[in-house]
A and B are shown apart, each in its own frame.
Chain A
């Protein structure tokens, strides 16, 4: 398990959060309980299993919804 913090472009609609959360939960290898999208700081925090899913795939899923990823930190 690794933990990632992904900084997105500024989120403006609260339903954006639901969409991003939904998209993340449809990926395999993501710890459902840790995945949170915060509205005001426009950040995604989650734990993921790097053997099942890569950080690029996670970023890709967010990108596909039309949100830019500004910076990603993986620990």
Chain B
């Protein structure tokens, strides 16, 4: 019976609303007092039933909930035969709860979308060798699974047979499909775009990368900051206190009307819901944009940031050398490039890879009489031509002719921090390439955005030499930059800023060799492509190592922190205004109080919902 009534809450709300409408319409049109009173009585009784049941259940487990306050208030109104108020208050309370549920679900939608991407079933190989569909919970490590085109990869595993391409957007945020073949790793929650593969399960359920991401986000949305825990503790004593005050008022004034009005006005409503709503919407927005935020404590610290420290290699720069500048001299450059590629193809020098990547597709010729000159480069015969590939010293040794133009280029490229690869064909310099670890595209604009968002210091720490560090720093407009730093030096620097200078510091790194600094900083931000270490040691993860998500993350946490404050002000403000108008005005009554409360709850939820659409404006 009890459960039945609770399940029918929405229908009860509707009926009670219709009855109240009938009561007032009949009163205004035909002036039938009987119909007016009886409609309101019935509306009060059926409306109060679910609230009273909830109140009773709460009291049984020793909780004074809002339902208790409202139930007593309604009974009080009923006793003094104020059926108008009892009916309207119950209706507003029920209708408010209905709207709350609808709007709350919206604020949670972003995170729900994420959790719903979790795979549910798998085709598992049974003992007879056949594949059967089972729930993903029934898959154990070592099981062999079949994945068909269009299906989700159910677990983290390794491809046994077959090949196909997989969309890994759910893990990396990168939607271009990745080719997989025997021996490749595949991840739970990613989608097989085409092909059919058999995989062996390496990690299942919550141990998979996707499972960890979901768990992190789910825990984050319910993690509580110090302020929130305070509000919770406060609410625990607040509601019983309202009950006691109302009782005292009745005891001394013998004014039931006043006492029950206090009960309704005192409901904590928006206060307890305001902060969690901002939290869940902010974290949800982050999850959509590839920014994983680990809870409301992180949001608070992150939003008050003074300094961001960046690791250089792999964070501000791409992490692997590539050709940054080049110069061509004379004609037949295409031939020169194809000879260069042919020579470099046989070399395992780190710069050779960058050169080959730059040239791309070309025709390769056979290379003969190769001579490796230590600390210089390579000299060889290709297609009957004498080819020299190497640095300036090699060119001098080979008596290569270098034009004035080329000499100027050499000087300029060197000044820009490049390593040089010169290519000469038959004694003439043809190609000059400057190779360095380049700054990631867009980083400069992103750093500007961070400054606009109020970050005071942008610092770079690197293991590289001070010269290179200075070049990068000048190009990016950083506040400070230090080279020759070991991981422990970086950690010491972070510690110094926090302890000696009292700054709030974020450290941005790749999560592997910087873990001490990530852990020490107030906010550790990992540029992770979904790696476990990054997820575990940091407070914020930028998915797919995408640096451009950092300004969004900072803007978002600032907006979320603001949103929480707004909600607290709205909630506290409404209670204060209501209580003040009870004392100083004539018009305040239970129904208006309830209306104001329900409205304030909706306002804080709607305010929180704005965060779901947050986008960085500049």
Q: Which residues of A contact B (CB under 8 A)?
A: 10, 12-15, 18-19, 21-23, 25-26, 38-41, 43, 63-66, 73
Q: Are A10 and B101 in contact (CB under 8 A)?
A: yes
The listed residue (A14, A23, A25, A63) touching B276 by CB distance below 8 A is A14
Given contacts A10-B104, A38-B222, A41-B218, contact A15 B58 (CB under 8 A): yes
Q: Are A73 and B137 in contact (CB under 8 A)?
A: yes
Q: Does B100 contact A (CB under 8 A)?
A: yes
Chain A residues within 8 Å of B66, by CB: 13, 15
CB distance from A64 to the nearest CB of B (A): 7
Q: Are A15 and B65 in contact (CB under 8 A)?
A: yes
Q: Does B105 contact A (CB under 8 A)?
A: yes
Q: Summarize A's interface: helix, strand, loop or mixed.
A: mixed
Q: Are A10 and B108 in contact (CB under 8 A)?
A: yes
Q: Are A66 and B7 in contact (CB under 8 A)?
A: yes
Q: Are B97 and A13 in contact (CB under 8 A)?
A: yes
Q: Which residues of B contact A (CB under 8 A)?
A: 2-3, 6-7, 53-54, 57-58, 60-63, 65-67, 97, 100-101, 104-105, 108, 111, 137, 218, 221-222, 232, 235-236, 239, 272-273, 276, 279-280
Q: How far is the CA of A25 from the CA of B60 in the complex (A)?
A: 12
Q: How far is the CA of A14 from the CA of B62 in the complex (A)?
A: 15
Q: Are B61 and A26 in contact (CB under 8 A)?
A: yes
Closest chain A residue, CB of each to CB of B65: A15
Chain A residues within 8 Å of B58, by CB: 15, 18-19, 22
Q: Are B222 and A41 in contact (CB under 8 A)?
A: yes
Closest chain A residue, CB of each to CB of B63: A18
Seed contacts A14-B276, A15-B239, A19-B63; 17 additional CB < 8 Å A-B pairs: A10-B101, A10-B108, A12-B101, A12-B104, A14-B273, A15-B58, A15-B63, A22-B63, A25-B61, A26-B61, A40-B221, A41-B221, A43-B218, A64-B3, A64-B57, A66-B6, A73-B137
CB distance from B406 to the nearest CB of A (A): 64
Q: Shortest 8 CB-CB distances between A and B: which pairs? A: A22-B61, A66-B6, A38-B222, A15-B65, A40-B221, A14-B272, A40-B280, A18-B63
Q: Are B273 and A66 in contact (CB under 8 A)?
A: no
CB distance from B444 to the nearest CB of A (A): 38
CB distance from B183 to the nearest CB of A (A): 31
Q: Are B222 and A23 in contact (CB under 8 A)?
A: no
The residue in B3, B61, B66, B137 that gathers the most chain A C-beta atoms within 10 A of its C-beta is B61
